[in-house]
Chains A and B, each alone.
Chain A
Amino acid sequence: ILNVEQSPQSLHVQEGDSTNFTCSFPSSNFYALHWYRWETAKSPEALFVMTLNGDEKKKGRISATLNTKEGYSYLYIKGSQPEDSATYLCAFPTGYSSASKIIFGSGTRLSIRP
Chain B
Amino acid sequence: EAGVVQSPRYKIIEKKQPVAFWCNPISGHNTLYWYRQNLGQGPELLIRYENEEAVDDSQLPKDRFSAERLKGVDSTLKIQPAELGDSAVYLCASSSSGHNEQFFGPGTRLTVL
List residues of chain A with CB under 8 Å of any chain B CB: 4, 9, 31-32, 34, 36, 41-44, 46, 49, 89, 91, 93, 95-107
Is B100's CB under 8 angstroms from A100's CB? yes
Is A105's CB under 8 angstroms from B31's CB? no
Residue in contact with B95 in the complex, picked from A36, A98, A106, CB distance below 8 Å: A98
Q: Give the number of residue pairs across the A-B interface with Cβ within 8 Å.
A: 63
Q: B102 to nearest A CB, angstroms?
A: 7
List residues of chain B with CB under 8 Å of any chain A CB: 3-4, 9, 30-31, 40-45, 48, 50, 55-56, 91, 95-107
Would you call the interface of chain B mostly helix, strand, loop, or mixed?
Answer: loop
* Cα A106 to Cα B44 with chains together (Å): 10
Is B100's CB under 8 angstroms from A98's CB? yes
